[in-house]
Amino acid sequence: MSEAPILELRQVSFAYPLASAPVLAAVDLTLSPGQRLGLFGPNGCGKTTLLSVMTGLRPANAGEILHRGRPVRSEADFGLLRRELGLLLQNADDQILFPTVLDDVAFGPLNLGLAPAEAEAEARRALDFVGLDGFEERLAHKLSGGEKKLVTLAGVLAMRPKALLLDEPTAGLDPATRDRLAHILGHIDAAVLTVSHDWDFLNLVATDFFTIEHGRLVREAASQLHWHAHAHPHPEQPH
Amino acid sequence: MIDEPFASGGSFLHRADPRAKLAAAAALSCILAASPTPAAPALALLSGLGLAAWAGLPLGALARRLLTVNVFVAFLWLFLPFSTPGEAVWRLGPLAATDRGLALCLLISLKTNAIMLHFLALIATSDAASLGQAMHRLRVPEKLVFLFLFTYRFINVIHGEHQRLMTAARLRGFVPRTSLHTYRTLASLLALVLLSAMRRAEMTRRAMLLRCFAGRFTTLRRFRMGRGEYALLGLLAVFAACLVALEVLHV
């Protein structure tokens, strides 16, 4: 079955004002249903910028973004795109908007036009899915870092996205929550693009790997990335 | 930062529909604020105490809240009796406290405490999240409601940021003193908190866009007015009518 890609970037470039070099230079990227992409790279290489450009939070300087084959140009086009694309921000506190968990998770479904009862049902289903049933009335500011991350994930999943974009999802998580997150991502239908410098996690949730070098998207063979993974622990265990 | 010492409890006032409580508290405070004589506020002080007792508010927390408000009231007692024209009833050197000044102080003290007690018993017994939703149901303008909800959501986050910065400063040997260095450090910390609050506002806007916010808010919670709520509202309406009568008749 060959469906049209959910999202396609063609020769997309982006540079911050007054910056000497572009962060993204003629990037091509396709995200198709069911795909599991991993984007690996150090801090500051443009991973978060790429996600912002993909979701229209930052306008691309050049190139074309296609949503199911149709070019996305206006804010209204991006609005339609965002109905299918869930982005999980790196900092959970940026994404939890309401004092109580249930209100926050239901915010997206309500924005999609669901009636309050349906939105609440979606929210409860999503909370259940990420293992947070019983958290509905909890106060957001009293949750742990890992719980906040799972609440934001439920908030995105409650909108039933066709593709999920994750920005450094494991930052600040303990190993147990990290494993739980990997487990959840293994059980969702949507295409997933995970951006991280945590190679072990990326290896758990993705099957195709990319990195950004000098603004260009480079495909990496999994074996090469394995080498990265083993190189990482060394500085922490000097011999 | 915001702890809600009165919001948890099992009394009827805790369980009652927050819309009824909001409406009742708002009406009563307007009536009390407009009262020209001390009779109505004095009566309301008693009813406020009664409601607080009914709600079983924790005494320590209640005393602390009332003390905070009465610190401001104490300042009025310090100045108003001597600056209001009227007949002198008591002299302190060249200063004379007037009868009208003292009466005014008494009136303000009664009003303040009566309104405060009603708010603590009726409003503080609901958590901020329910109050926000109740305000939305009562058709308070959306922007105000969501400003209220977002403030409640983020004030803890911003307070946490401030605490982290203060800890970082202390870890490097910062001790607040009366010195230029202290003022400079505190100003810099304040600037950082403001900057991070601005950054957070921008991130919040983006997070709302990402979840397809298109300018219309909907809230989830549905409240139910039961027989108890109608009884409470009826009782308070009769009481409010009595207060108005007292005020109009100038007893």
pLDDT digits (tens, 9 = 90+) for A182-216: 999 999 999 999 999 888 899 999 999 999 988 88
Mean pLDDT of A87-100: 88
The H helix count followed by the E strand count for chain B is 9, 2
Query: How crowded is residue B60: how many other Cβ atoms within 10 Å of its Cβ?
Result: 9
* A153–chain B Cβ distance below 8 A for any pair: no
Among chain B residues, the shortest Cα distance to A158 is held by: B211
Which of A82, A85, A94, A144 should be substituted to probe chain B, the one whose Cβ sees the most B Cβ atoms within 10 Å?
A94
Predicted local distance difference test score (pLDDT) of residue A231: 46
Do residues A151 and A135 make contact, with C-beta atoms less than 8 angstroms apart?
A: yes
Predicted local distance difference test score (pLDDT) of residue B31: 94
pLDDT tens for B205-250 read 899 999 988 877 777 878 888 999 999 999 999 999 999 998 888 7
Nearest chain B Cα distance for residue A142, angstroms = 9
pLDDT tens for B151-177 read 888 888 888 888 888 888 888 878 888
* A4–chain B Cβ distance below 8 A for any pair: no
CB-nearest to A94 from B129, B156, B200 is B200
Mean pLDDT of A109-113: 89
Helix, coil or strand: residue B232: helix
Helix, coil or strand: residue A56: coil
The answer to whether the Cβ–Cβ distance between A159 and B129 falls below 8 Å is no
Q: Which residues of A31-69 are buried (b: 16+ CB within 10 A; e: fewer)?
A: beeebbbbbbbeeebbbbbbbbbbbbbbebeebebbbee
The answer to whether the Cβ–Cβ distance between A97 and B208 falls below 8 Å is yes
The answer to whether the Cβ–Cβ distance between A55 and B150 falls below 8 Å is no
The answer to whether the Cβ–Cβ distance between A55 and B210 falls below 8 Å is yes
CB-nearest to B204 from A57, A87, A97 is A97
* A155–chain B Cβ distance below 8 A for any pair: yes
Angle at A28 between CA A27 and CA A29, to 5 degrees: 115
Residues of B engaging A, defined by a Cβ cutoff of 8 Å: 127-129, 132-133, 149-150, 152-153, 156-157, 200, 203-204, 206-214, 218-222
Task: Please report which residue ranges of chain A form alpha helices under DSSP H.
Answer: 47-54, 75-84, 101-111, 116-129, 145-157, 175-185, 199-205, 222-231
Encoded tokens for B184: 């400079």
User: Smallest Cα–Cα separation from B135: which of B228, B25, B250?
Assistant: B25
* A222–chain B Cβ distance below 8 A for any pair: no
Give the H/E segment covering residue A164.
strand A163-167
Rounded Cα gap, residues B85 and B76, in angstroms: 15
Kindly tell me if the per-residue pLDDT of A221 is higher than 80: no
User: Smallest Cα–Cα separation from B69: which of B127, B121, B131, B114?
Assistant: B114
Count of residues making up chain B: 251
Rounded Cα gap, residues B179 and B233, in angstroms: 56
Rounded Cα gap, residues A127 and A136, in angstroms: 8
CB-nearest to A97 from B207, B214, B218 is B207
Mean pLDDT of A131-143: 91
The answer to whether the Cβ–Cβ distance between A94 and B204 falls below 8 Å is yes
The answer to whether the Cβ–Cβ distance between A119 and B220 falls below 8 Å is yes
Kindly tell me if the per-residue pLDDT of B8 is higher than 50: yes
The overall average pLDDT reported for chain B is 89
User: Smallest Cα–Cα separation from B35: which of B104, B84, B87?
Assistant: B104
Rounded Cα gap, residues B193 and B197, in angstroms: 6
The answer to whether the Cβ–Cβ distance between A159 and B211 falls below 8 Å is yes
Helix, coil or strand: residue A43: coil
Kindly tell me if the per-residue pLDDT of B109 is higher than 90: yes
Kindly tell me if the per-residue pLDDT of A235 is higher than 50: no
Kindly tell me if the per-residue pLDDT of B27 is higher than 70: yes
- Burial, A203: exposed, middle or buried (Cβ in 10 Å; 0-12, 13-18, 19+)? middle
The answer to whether the Cβ–Cβ distance between B203 and A102 falls below 8 Å is no
Nearest chain A Cα distance for residue B200, angstroms = 7
Task: Please report which residue ranges of B176-226 form alpha helices under DSSP H.
Answer: 180-210
Rounded Cα gap, residues B30 and B226, in angstroms: 25
The answer to whether the Cβ–Cβ distance between A98 and B200 falls below 8 Å is no
Do residues A63 and A128 make contact, with C-beta atoms less than 8 angstroms apart?
A: no
Residue with tokens 């009769």: B238
- Walk me through the domains of chain A, giving residue ranges and CATH numbers: 7-234 (3.40.50.300)
pLDDT tens for B116-145 read 999 999 999 998 888 998 999 899 998 899
Predicted local distance difference test score (pLDDT) of residue A86: 92
User: Smallest Cα–Cα separation from A28: which of A46, A3, A8?
Assistant: A8
The answer to whether the Cβ–Cβ distance between A87 and B210 falls below 8 Å is yes
Q: Which residues in chain B belong to E strands, given as ranges?
A: 88-92, 95-98
Q: Which letter does DSSP use for residue A113 in this model? A: T
Residue with tokens 């916010």: B213
HEC profile of A143-162: CCHHHHHHHHHHHHHCCCCC
The answer to whether the Cβ–Cβ distance between A141 and B153 falls below 8 Å is yes
Encoded tokens for A53: 């450009």
Kindly tell me if the per-residue pLDDT of A223 is higher than 80: no
Nearest chain B Cα distance for residue A223, angstroms = 35
